[in-house]
Chains A and B, each alone.
Chain A
Amino acid sequence: GNSVTQMEGPVTLSEEAFLTINCTYTATGYPSLFWYVQYPGEGLQLLLKATKADDKGSNKGFEATYRKETTSFHLEKGSVQVSDSAVYFCALSSGNTPLVFGKGTRLSVIA
């Protein structure tokens, strides 16, 4: 079945540091890949997505590239801010099935 594995947290970084959160997937067919973010006290919201191999999703300075050869969709940001502190979820969908989420990675950015 479909599944997503993402690096365990928590991740603690200083402001302006480089961020990578690893995500790999297992899926049948050609899935779409997503990153969702959950800020404290809120529901999840879509951060970025990629729907086919080699696509790069980007938003708010975050980027992720759909790598079919390594079945990966790692999230990166060149310079994190305190306001980026949140829980990040990698997710995939394939066909008409609902989204499958990873376990989430908590990021804390300190000034």
Chain B
Amino acid sequence: DVKVTQSSRYLVKRTGEKVFLECVQDMDHENMFWYRQDPGLGLRLIYFSYDVKMKEKGDIPEGYSVSREKKERFSLILESASTNQTSMYLCASSLPGNRNEKLFFGSGTQLSVL
């Protein structure tokens, strides 16, 4: 089975800190995604990547950046954390080719910014 692993299940940070959320997948997937999940808002796409070194902005990229140095790892970076970035962050990956097929999700990182 595909495994998408997010480094932390719960994370507490202070306003202004630089925060790294790590995601690793073990099935050689080209495509990787970062979403945030908020009550009443569902999932919103932050950034995605269809190849190493490649990144594209999603619907809500402001305040975030990403890094994809290796195929299996896709990092989300909060340059200066703010309280409105308190959220559940979900990483996902999928096979290349048909980019719109099954996404495999990690269990999520619940980030609290105080």
A43 touches B41 (CB 8 A): no
* Distance to closest chain B CB from A76 (angstroms): 21
User: With A32-B100, A96-B99, A98-B33 given, is the CB distance from A43 to B43 under 8 Å?
Assistant: no
Which size bracket describes the interface of B in this complex?
Answer: 20 to 34
B47 nearest in chain A by CB position:
A98
Q: Does A69 contact B (CB under 8 A)?
A: no
Size bracket of the A interface: 20 to 34
B74 interface contact, C-beta 8 A: no
**Nearest opposing residue in chain B for A92, CB measure:** B100
| Chain B residues at the A interface, C-beta cutoff of 8 Å | 4, 33, 35, 40-43, 45, 48, 58, 90, 92, 99-108
Residues of A within 8 A of B (CB): 32, 36, 41-46, 49, 89, 93-104
